[in-house]
Amino acid sequence: MEISLFMKKSGFFFNSFFQNPLFLYVLKCLVGVSLGYALYIFFPEHQFIWTMISTLIVLTPENNDVHHLALDRIKANIIGSSIGLLIFFLHSPDLMSLFLGITGIIILCSVLKHIHAARTALVAFLIVILHENRTNSWRGATERMGCVITGCVIAIIVTFIFSRLFSKKQPQGIGEESPDILGME
């Protein structure tokens, strides 16, 4: 009898732990960064650090409409990195080109009704347009854009897998609700 009660309680703990939004968000970030880090290690001649950063920007702790949020952040990354690449080709990066890009991104995000994702677009823009002296070329800017988009792809794959694996809500207990650890409600 005692063993049966222990099994029920430990199963409840196990199920609750893997349904905890904080735990799932940490796990998503660790998996996403691990994939980006593998690219970073296996291809050291490329700038895959930006892949890891992009992955973390796109991953979201929210459980509601997670695919929509991830896709919005991916669109924002594409907007920001595309404008960064365009401005890089038009003018060498300086304060004026930063102002032009930032203004253009905010206006474009507003027109496309993605103003909520403008911060993500601005970060992607800075990743692409700013450079170290060793990669001050169109190839470096293009590579950074590719790395940002690779991070987006990793994040959407991780999001999709996690939503498939952990989407079923486990019963909490009679009359109990799960705590809102992330402050999302």
Instruction: Give me the number of domains the chain comprises.
Output: 1
Give the contacts of 89 (CB within 8 A, at least 6 positions apart). Answer: 138, 141
What local confidence, expressed as pLDDT, does residue 36 receive?
Answer: 93
Least confident of 70-74, 79-83, 130-134, 176-180: 176-180
The continuous run of DSSP H or E covering 9 comes out as: helix 2-19
Q: Please check the confidence at residue 11 and state whether its pLDDT lies above 80.
A: no
Report yes or no on 177 lying in a domain: no
Report yes or no on 138 lying in a domain: yes
Report yes or no on 3 lying in a domain: no
Q: Please check the confidence at residue 40 and state whether its pLDDT lies above 80.
A: yes
Taking the C-alpha atoms of residue 118 and residue 102, their distance in angstroms, rounded to an integer, is 9
Report yes or no on 126 lying in a domain: yes
pLDDT 10s digits, 94-142: 888 889 999 999 999 989 988 888 888 988 898 888 765 455 577 888 8
What local confidence, expressed as pLDDT, does residue 34 receive?
Answer: 94
pLDDT 10s digits, 81-94: 899 889 888 877 78
| DSSP summary character for residue 91 | S
Residue appearing with tokens 């997670």: 66
Q: Domain range spanning residue 129?
A: 30-43+65-163
Report yes or no on 174 lying in a domain: no
% helix / strand / coil in the chain, to the nearest 5? Answer: 75, 0, 25
DSSP assignment of 12-25, as one string?
HHHHHHHH-HHHHH
pTM equals 0.67
Report yes or no on 7 lying in a domain: no
Taking the C-alpha atoms of residue 61 and residue 184, their distance in angstroms, rounded to an integer, is 9
